[in-house]
Structure 1
Amino acid sequence: MKVILLDANIPDISIEKKEIEKHIFFTFLVDGISRACSHQLVRHRPASYSQQSQRYVSMKDFPYVKPGSVKDKFILFENKKISFDDVMSFLGDVYESFVEKGVPKEDARFVLPNACATRIVFTMNVRELIHFLKLRTCNRAQWEIREMAIKMLKLLRTEMSEIFSQVGPGCFMTGVCPEGEKTCGKQAEVVSFFEKL
């Protein structure tokens, strides 16, 4: 996964911090995340998104994201030992076969998995970025979007540390875990990580 800060629109105006946060925008390019991760990302509003198309872009030999939890794991299917990579390869072959039979790419893509890697460009204002980072850097966030959010936060702390140096998961920002009974139970460790980030 690559996370690139493409642009920062920081107006040179003199208004209070809470007001200026609505007018500062950051644009990121994220390449190599799964479609599953991008579906989580686009739930965050207000923001603008442009995602790589599966309608027009050929997904022949598609790249995919492989969760660490499936490494060295196999299932038995029709008396064959099958890995995650075997499934991805099979789905790629099915996709290619449909396209070769004249099925439009926009229809053949229906067999593609959430693991397909994608590229997305998005723009958020500071207020929404803080909200996004508070939720998605939490230990309880899904691992892939958490990794992406931490990479984004590192870039933002470099670009605008006066706003982002105190941004991180809820427990880091407020001193209290907002997850209640679903807490990861590692608040001191999490806070220490984000203090040193």
Structure 2
Amino acid sequence: MKVILLDFNIPDIDIKKEELEKHVFFTFLVDGISRACSHQLVRHRPASYSQQSQRYVSMKKFPYVKPESLEDKYVETEMGRFSFDEVMSFLGSVYESFVETGVPKEDARFVLPNACSTRIVFTMSGRELIHFLRLRTCNRAQWEIREMAVKMLKLLREKLPEIFEKVGPVCYMTGVCPEGEKTCGRQREVVSFFENL
């Protein structure tokens, strides 16, 4: 996964930091995340997104994201024993065969998995970005979007520490975990991680 901060603007106006957050915008390019991850990202609606098309871009031998939990794992079905990589290869062959028989790419893509890698450009206001980072840097967030959010935060702290130095998961920012019984139980470790990011 590659995360690039493409651009940001900070208007030269004399207002409080909390008000300024509404008027600052950040544009990121993220490449090599799964479609499953991008589906989580676009749930943050106050933003603009441009995502790589599966309608026009050929997905022959498509790249994909493989969770560590699927490494060296196999499933048994009535058709045989398969690894995750073998399933991805099979789906790529099915997709390619459909396209070769004249099925439009926009229809053949229906066999593609959420694991397909994608590229997405998005722009968020400072306020929405901080909200996104509070939620998605939490240990309870799904691993892939958390990894992306942490990389984004690291870039932001390098460029704009005055705005993002104290940003991270809710437990880091407020000292209180909002997850209740679903807490990761590692607040000290989390706070230490974000203090040293």
> Cα RMSD between the aligned structures?
0.7
Unmatched tracts of structure 2, length 5 or more: none
1:177 offset after TM fit, Å?
Answer: 0.3
1:79 offset after TM fit, Å?
Answer: 5.7
Is 1:52 aligned with 2:52?
yes
SS at match of 1:153: helix
Deviates more, 1:12-21 or 1:126-135: 12-21
Is 1:22 aligned with 2:22?
yes
- Kept in 2: contact 1:3–1:152 (CA 8 A): yes
Q: Which residue is 2:175 aligned to?
A: 175
Deviation per CA, 1:89-125, whole angstroms, max 9, x where unpaired?
0000000000000000000000000000000000001
Equivalence map 1:17-166=2 (5 Å): 17-78=17-78, 80-166=80-166
1:76 offset after TM fit, Å?
Answer: 1.2
Whole-angstrom distance in 2 between the partners of 1:174 and 1:17? 17
Deviates more, 1:1-10 or 1:73-82: 73-82
Deviation per CA, 1:101-155, whole angstroms, max 9, x where unpaired?
0000000000000000000000001100110000000000000000000000000
1:60 offset after TM fit, Å?
Answer: 0.4
- Kept in 2: contact 1:170–1:178 (CA 8 A): yes
Whole-angstrom distance in 1 between the partners of 2:23 and 2:45? 15
- Kept in 2: contact 1:31–1:119 (CA 8 A): yes
Whole-angstrom distance in 2 between the partners of 1:196 and 1:83? 38
Runs of 4+ in 1 over 6 A off after TM superposition: none
Amino acid at match of 2:68: G
Whole-angstrom distance in 2 between the partners of 1:195 and 1:181? 25
Whole-angstrom distance in 1 between the partners of 2:15 and 2:70? 50
1:77 offset after TM fit, Å?
Answer: 2.1
Amino acid at match of 1:146: R
Deviation per CA, 1:60-93, whole angstroms, max 9, x where unpaired?
0000000000000001123622100000000000
Deviates more, 1:3-12 or 1:74-83: 74-83
Unmatched tracts of structure 1, length 5 or more: none
How many corresponding residue pairs?
197
Q: Which residue is 1:187 aligned to?
A: 187
1:187 offset after TM fit, Å?
Answer: 0.4
Whole-angstrom distance in 1 between the partners of 2:21 and 2:175? 23
Q: Which residue is 1:11 aligned to?
A: 11
- Kept in 2: contact 1:45–1:128 (CA 8 A): no
Amino acid at match of 1:19: E
Q: TM-score, normalised by structure 1?
A: 0.99
SS at match of 1:5: strand
SS at match of 2:138: coil
